[in-house]
Amino acid sequence: MLITKKIEIDMGHRVPNHKSKCRNLHGHRYVIEVGVDGEIITENGSPAEGMVIDFGDLKEVMMDTLDKLFDHSFTIYQKDEFCNVFEELKAKGQKINFVTFIPTAENLAKHWFELLQPKLVERKIKIKFVRVWETPTSTATYEN
């Protein structure tokens, strides 16, 4: 059975080699949808009876793993020419994430999948995909 949950975060980034305006500092209201697969729990009297995972529990994993780190932050490629500026900002308490990849929607979907996977495996839940809306009409989906 496949179920999904969405959360939203606000995050800034830049795509340093972009041919157009995305090479500038900017932000998005990202929507992150996670699809998980599992058997429906049939244990009589279980609080999760009839569910794959309680939606609240899935949201908690997403919030602890993604929202806590990335909401109201700026994510920047560790080889970006502006990294020194962001290191200074981080030293002054700003929420900056340095990543080993250019933070496109595609790369973020893969990265967030990889962050969530071990947390869900602990709960015996298989993650199927992470879909990232960078805008209301543009998504990237990572499936494994």
Catalytic residues: 22, 72, 134
Q: What angle do CA 69, 60, 72 make, to 5 degrees?
A: 30
Q: State the pairing for strand pair 26-37/2-13.
A: antiparallel
Nearest of 6, 66, 63 to residue 36 by alpha carbon? 6
Given CA atoms 129, 130, 135, 139 in this order, what sign does their dihedral have? negative
Cα gap 128→103, rounded to integer Å: 21
| Residue entry with tokens 């995050």 | 11
